[in-house]
Amino acid sequence: MISIQRLLGKEDMFFSMLEQSASEGCASVQALVKLCKTLDQPGLLEEFIQARRKDKQIKARITEAVYTTFVTALEREDIELLANALFKLPKTMEKFAERVWLTPQYVSGIDFTPQAALLEQSAGAVLEMIKGMRGGGLENIKSLNDRLQRIEGEADKVMLDLYRELFSGRHDPIKAIVMKDLYELLEKGIDRCRDTGNLICNIVLKNS
């Protein structure tokens, strides 16, 4: 099979655009970490909107390049699948910020930092994996993907603890609904990273 290393050159633009997309995902997570520290002042929605818009533009450029480039670094379908997977993270982070902005009276005092920290680690691992695709190093990609799986497993344990507290009966019903929705959006963000990691691993394996 043709290795990724032999497909570099002018097709390197695909890797550059995918890295840019992953970087926007990290930027949206960084905005979320900042937001979680200032829930009493949820005025950072614009940062999430910008990250999502930039990533949407990158995704559009990738799609255009896929259909206008004679030879692509990876299979066209794989490039589009990866671009779509990367775009889901900033989109999910924007949804979280919107819900916080809509329900400030219910989120004050809620600690989202355990999930936010795991999400930050997950997004960072995805960016490392995207960068690692340039070299086609399967062992390094697999190691990073294993890290993502461990983070996702830890996130599941955190989620169980959050559910236990949420359903303890100590919270106002409406607040409990709001908290559950927000916790699950953060969990979804971590799952997005895990799914992207699996996709990257499969693509690199196929092209190694």
Amino acid at 94: E
Predicted structure pTM score: 0.88
Per CATH, the homologous superfamily of domain 8-207 is Phosphate transport system protein phou homolog 2; domain 2 (1.20.58.220)
Name the pLDDT band for 1 (thresholds 50, 70, 90). very low
**How buried is 123 (Cβ within 10 angstroms: 0-12 exposed, 13-18 middle, 19+ buried)?**
buried
pLDDT tens-digit readout, 141-184? 999 999 999 999 999 999 999 999 999 888 889 999 999 999 99
Domain ranges for the chain, please list them: 8-207
Q: In the predicted model, what is the mean pLDDT of residues 125-137?
A: 88
More confident call, 44 vs 3: 44
Count of CA atoms in the C-beta half-sphere (13 A) of 168 = 10
